[in-house]
Structure 1
Amino acid sequence: MTRVNLITGFLGCGKTTTLLHLLATKPDNEKWAVLVNEFGEIGIDGSLLAERGAVLKEISGGCMCCVNGLPMQVGLNTLLKQVKPDRLLIEPTGLGHPKQILSMLSDPLYQPWLTLQATFCLLDPRQLRQPRVKENENFRNQLLAADIIIANKKDCWQPEDESALENWRQTEAEGRLVITTTRGQIDRALLDKPRRNLRPLADAAHHHPVKQPLSLLSSLQLAGAGRWRRALNEGQGYFSCGWVFDSETVFETIAILEWARHAPVSRVKGVIRLGQGAVYINRQGEDFHIEMHPTAPPDSRIELINDQPADWNALQHKLLNIRLTIKA
């Protein structure tokens, strides 16, 4: 029997960082799996979570939250039947609605295979003071569906953020456990808490990807033809653009960090090959976090998300110009 936890949260709240922390605490005698879905088409989280001691299944740019979405069913069935993990952690996109996923996991069809345990929602309390986020139907329903609320990024809060969290706790938490933390540092034992929050959730207009053709600029491969590609997506008022570069393309460290820091978008994630090793980039608004790694991933992946269309071609032009080396 596989124990399952759903880990939700809006864009940039720290879901992947929390997963990394939990995977680092995995008991040696247990087999874990992770099913992850991203809004963008490129798939950054898979690179971040790879080789962390768990079996990984990605659904990039798909609609995991749709109960009729075959990617979710196929991914779930594959992990349960072929991997048979002791624990499965599911991370939907930050724009996903939890109702359909919870309905699927609670279906009698899956009762012989899994036990649905506590559902988590990561919350950056600063989002409670952002009308566009606070009024988002999926943001509200992610919080409503959770058994445990993880108020994350405490090191970044201002007094008014703590006040907003306290007001939310008093008016909407309804006795549920609210834990404050930094960098997703939570006790692994919380995963074994039971699923008790069975309140009905309203339907929402969940995200279906809108595939867009490559632009003329993205098809101009310049030097190093065929070594990279671009993918676009949009839904629920958000837009994404991502790039993947092959293993022979590397970037200049300072230049790529400056590009990511100053890109006029709200969200930047990347796993990028450097001359030596790699850098993991995670930016939400003005929060900018990087980690250097001595081992380079098999390719470079960069994803930008914004609440309005950006000049992707201009951003791409700058990105292509900071490639340090393209090996022959």
Structure 2
Amino acid sequence: MTKTNLITGFLGSGKTTTIQHLLRQKPADENWAILVNEFGEVGIDGALLANQGATLKEIPGGCMCCVNGLPMQVGLNMLLKQAKPDRLLIEPTGLGHPKQILSLLTSDVYQPLLDLRATLCLVDARQLSEPRYYENENFRDQLASADIILASKADTYSENDKAVFSQWQQNDDLKRPSFFIEQGNAPVELLDKPRLNLQELPDSAHHHHPKKNGLAALSLAGDRGWRRALNQGQGYFSCGWIFDSATCFSTAALLDWVRLAPVERVKGVMRIAEGTIIFNRQGLDLSIETQPVEPVDSRVELIHTSEAPWNVLQSELLKARTPKS
């Protein structure tokens, strides 16, 4: 049987960073696999998790629970058959509802195949003070479904943030273990904790409406080096771009664009002269990493709570390209 963990958390809570940290702790004699789902269409998390010692399967563009879980079942079956992993980590979109996923993983068809262990839920404790988060159905149910709570990005918390999280802990009827973590540094031993939280979650009022008419719609005549994809659902909107491997960006111009984009979330893996730049912005929080190797392609995704000026943002992003040699 494959030891299996669900890694949940709302948008920007640090799921991918935590999985990267867990992968660095993988026993050398174990074969791991990752099933990752993103709200956007261009697959940023997949690019970040590729070539990190685990077999990867992406389900971009929405939620694993859509269409009665069919996209997830196909991806899950492929991983189990082809990779035969010792451990499987499943990362749903930050807008995904956990009930349908847990129901599928515990269904009769997967009982002989999966050893479902603790569900880890990441929460940015700063969000516990904001109604747009704690009043969100998926945010609440992700927390409710967890066996272990990880208060991520703890190095950014104020004393009030810590106090709010402590108060939340005291009000937790299930008295689940919880930990403050920084930079995704969750100990791998948590993955072997048992699944004890068996409470019944409410049904989700999930609605997801893919909007794919933006694919390459604004590509300039003769310019086939990039394409665009749009998506929307759960009260959020996304716009993403993929650029070919020959496209390079000015580091300074690109980072200005990332910082100034009037959206809630920006995430990307892009080619620059020095190699690769990886950036992740949630609100005003921005993390940046550079690597000397060049990426296969360049990918960037914006997510916001309303329609943003995608065409204007696209025009500014295209200006950040450097001339092709």
Aligned counterparts of 1:14 and 1:32: Cα–Cα separation in 2: 20
Q: Which residue of structure 2 aligns with residue 274 of structure 1? A: 272
Matched, 1:84 2:84: yes
Q: Which residue of structure 1 aligns with residue 220 of structure 2? A: 221
- What one-letter code is carried by the residue in structure 1 that aligns with 2:252? I
Q: Which residue of structure 1 aligns with residue 256 of structure 2? A: 258
- For 1:172-321, list aligned pairs within 5 A: 172=172, 174-214=174-214, 218-221=217-220, 225-321=223-319
Aligned length in residues: 325
Q: Which residue of structure 2 aligns with residue 9 of structure 1? A: 9
Matched, 1:65 2:74: no
Pair 173,148 (structure 1): closer, same or farther in 2 beyond 3 Å: farther
- Answer with 181-190 or 141-150: which moved more: 181-190
Q: Which residue of structure 2 aligns with residue 326 of structure 1? A: 324
Q: Structure 2, unaligned stretches of length 5 or more?
A: none
What TM-score, normalized to structure 1?
A: 0.96
- Answer with 282-291 or 59-68: which moved more: 59-68
Pair 215,81 (structure 1): closer, same or farther in 2 beyond 3 Å: closer
Contact 1:66–1:101 (Cα < 8 Å) also in 2: no
Aligned counterparts of 1:123 and 1:307: Cα–Cα separation in 2: 19
Please state how far the C-alpha of 1:212 moved relative to its aligned partner.
3.7
Contact 1:214–1:231 (Cα < 8 Å) also in 2: yes
- What one-letter code is carried by the residue in structure 2 that aligns with 1:210? P
Q: Which residue of structure 2 aligns with residue 24 of structure 1? A: 24
SS in 1 for 2:35: strand
Aligned counterparts of 1:187 and 1:195: Cα–Cα separation in 2: 17
Aligned counterparts of 1:164 and 1:303: Cα–Cα separation in 2: 31
Q: CA RMSD in A?
A: 1.4
- For 1:38-117, list aligned pairs within 5 A: 38-66=38-66, 68-117=68-117
Please state how far the C-alpha of 1:40 moved relative to its aligned partner.
0.3
Please state how far the C-alpha of 1:215 moved relative to its aligned partner.
8.1
Identity among equivalent positions (%) equals 60
1:104-153: CA deviations, max 9, x gaps? 10012111111000001000000001111110000000000000000011
What TM-score, normalized to structure 2?
A: 0.97
Aligned counterparts of 2:295 and 2:226: Cα–Cα separation in 1: 15
